[in-house]
Structure 1
Amino acid sequence: MLGATLCFAALDATSKHLSQTYPVPMLVWGRYTFHCLMMLIFLAPSMRLQLIATARPKAQVARALMLVGTTGFSMAGFSMMPLAESTAFLFVTPLVVVILSHWLLKESITGGHWLAVVAGFVGALLIARPGGALSLQGIFWMTLAAACYAIYQIQTRQLSPTENTVTMLFYTALVGTVSMTLAAPLYWGGPTPGWIDAALIASLGIYGGTGHLMLTRAFRYAAASFLSPFLYAQLIWAMLLGWMFYDHLPDLLSIAGMAVIAGSSLSIALSERLKQASAAKDRDTAC
């Protein structure tokens, strides 16, 4: 999980650098195309048709498009905002998922959950406070990214009980590649990448693909409720990379906002863990 979050932070840092020269949609294309190639090279020979076997192809495509939107909007946000603050906005997603789960999945929400949601959005306001140094346009893009990511997570919860995890991962890469390739005439342009920039564009797919594969492997060895707190290591990686490569450290109010967002999301994850443990104990007692 720690390796996966480092890969995701490296992807964000690299896309921030490249977006100063190249169109963001081109970077999205690179991220999914090289991710797709990785899966075809390393997994297709062994999995063959199992890689694309699904009972719900339309739902797979819709879910993948939400992740493409997340990637594009977040890259646009990273191009205008510091890494750590931008990453923190994406971690509002679990709070949005709580609200969407209540409306779309009819899941019950406790008073503690609502308190955590309110606190998390207060944390976001501390980062995007009026008079702060952050770009309003960047905040707008990151808000859209968080919304897309929340819908993506809801769709993942709906598909995961019946669909193969690797197949779901492949559909995100395949749909991202096809959709961004078809849209290429609308955005392709600007300078031709040299060898170094071409390698960096390819690295976006390597970071994304490797990160998701490591994430999948992590969930194979440990429960989601145990692993979820480690996802917030990405905030630490983002702060370190932002300091090392962009000479930026968040101010105290922004750090406070990040801590509130992380704490709010963690409280929801831990309460879910306790709920699952209690349910398991009740089942064992009944047996």
Structure 2
Amino acid sequence: MSSPEKPPRRTTDLDAPLDAAASRERLVGIGLMCAALLCFSGLDASAKWLGRDLPTLQVVFARYLGSVILIGVFVNGLTTPGVARSNRPALQVLRSLFLLGGTLLNFLALRWLQLAETMAIMFSTPFIVALIAGPLLGERVGPRRLAAIVVGFLGVLVVVRPGLEGFQPAALLSLGAALSNALYGVTTRMLAGTDSSRTTLVYSGLVGVAVTAPIAPFLWEAPPSAFAWLVLGGLGAFGAVGHWLLILAHARAPASVLSPFFYTQIVWMLALGWFVFGDLPDAWTLVGAFIVVGSGLYLIARERARTRKG
């Protein structure tokens, strides 16, 4: 009889050799990360498609309601006793409001911008996090990281092109969404040491529904087709499954290993933009996205180097 397989060996040294089980775990984590990003891309594509006929707030409400229903089946007071109990409830609500604001602004921007354009601008989120993490979390930004942040924002300006003929005001909505998502990311890190990921996941959906539910009935318009109803119902599934896959991915691989794959989402967005809407980004959008991605990967490399030294 063969000996039982050893559990994956966890290590903080990212360059240390891994046994077969640990390597397999990391590959599974990367696969889950890419699948999560595909779900998020499907969420944005669905929101853009629905936004042609339905009010944006109605689409946002459907996204949160579907997510709460789906998550509630698996994460509730019976399966996870005390899941709604938070050690910092005010911060949980604030974090959820940042997420809601980012979702609303992003869905609004998608009414006028291509998927790839909004994604390229949203890639500025890590740079904003790096800037605001200093005063909020006490994390120092060194000169190299600051230079990478500046270059990354220059890439965003290439995509947005303010003051030029190609500028679209809706790009400002995407920038606002990136800021909201950055604040959401920072507050998520502040909660990581006090609340479980399941509690944080539950709060995200409940706050979104609580804010949008009183307004949505006054704006409600019937979806124009059975397929539109199906897409509207699928919004919550895309969001809930995407976030759950993200949690599973981080349970199997370090964040520094998974982070570079965040930028593969541009591939999904380009593919869906072309397949669903027939959109192809112009050269400036691609150049800007390349600059932003390159700067983001440099920031990740610097973070890995700092982790190894620590």
Calculate the TM-score normalised by the size of structure 2: 0.86
Q: 1:88 Cα shift?
A: 1.1
3-state SS of 2:280 partner? coil
C-alpha distance in structure 1 between counterparts of 2:291 and 2:100, whole Å: 28
C-alpha distance in structure 2 between counterparts of 1:58 and 1:233, whole Å: 34
| Cα deviations by residue, 1:113-159 (Å, 9 ceiling, x for unpaired) | 111111011101111114354521x1111111011001001101110
1:277 and 2:308 equivalent? yes
1:120 and 2:159 equivalent? no
Which of the two has greater helix per residue?
Answer: 1
C-alpha distance in structure 2 between counterparts of 1:134 and 1:49, whole Å: 51
- AA at the equivalent of 1:131: L
- AA at the equivalent of 1:198: W
| Cα deviations by residue, 1:193-219 (Å, 9 ceiling, x for unpaired) | 543212111111100000000000000
Q: 1:104 Cα shift?
A: 2.0
C-alpha distance in structure 2 between counterparts of 1:121 and 1:33, whole Å: 34
1:198 and 2:233 equivalent? no
User: Which of 135, 138, 141 is matched with 2:168 structurally?
Assistant: 135
User: Which of 105, 113, 129 is matched with 1:97 structurally?
Assistant: 129
Q: 5+ unaligned residues in a row in structure 2: which ranges? A: 1-32
Q: How does 1:221-260 map to 2 (within 5 A)?
A: 221-260=252-291
Greater CA drift, 20-29 or 125-134:
125-134
Q: 1:267 Cα shift?
A: 1.2
- For 2:119, the equivalent position in structure 1 comes to 87
- For 2:197, the equivalent position in structure 1 comes to 165
- For 2:299, the equivalent position in structure 1 comes to 268
- For 1:39, the equivalent position in structure 2 comes to 71
3-state SS of 2:52 partner? coil
3-state SS of 1:49 partner? coil
1:107/1:18 Cα in 2 relative to 1: closer, same or farther (>3 Å)? same
- For 1:220, the equivalent position in structure 2 comes to 251
Q: 5+ unaligned residues in a row in structure 1: which ranges? A: 280-287
- For 1:2, the equivalent position in structure 2 comes to 34
RMSD of equivalent CA atoms: 1.4
C-alpha distance in structure 1 between counterparts of 2:122 and 2:207, whole Å: 22
Check whether the contact 2:51–2:111 (CA below 8 A) recurs between aligned residues: yes
- For 1:282, the equivalent position in structure 2 comes to none
3-state SS of 2:229 partner? helix
- For 2:242, the equivalent position in structure 1 comes to 211
3-state SS of 2:35 partner? helix
1:142/1:241 Cα in 2 relative to 1: closer, same or farther (>3 Å)? same
User: Which of 106, 111, 118 is matched with 1:74 structurally?
Assistant: 106
1:59 and 2:91 equivalent? yes
Q: 1:166 Cα shift?
A: 1.4
Check whether the contact 2:53–2:223 (CA below 8 A) recurs between aligned residues: no
C-alpha distance in structure 2 between counterparts of 1:104 and 1:45, whole Å: 33
Q: 1:256 Cα shift?
A: 1.1
C-alpha distance in structure 2 between counterparts of 1:199 and 1:30, whole Å: 11
Check whether the contact 2:120–2:285 (CA below 8 A) recurs between aligned residues: no
Identity %: 32
C-alpha distance in structure 2 between counterparts of 1:192 and 1:231, whole Å: 32
Q: Radius of gyration: which is bigger?
A: 2
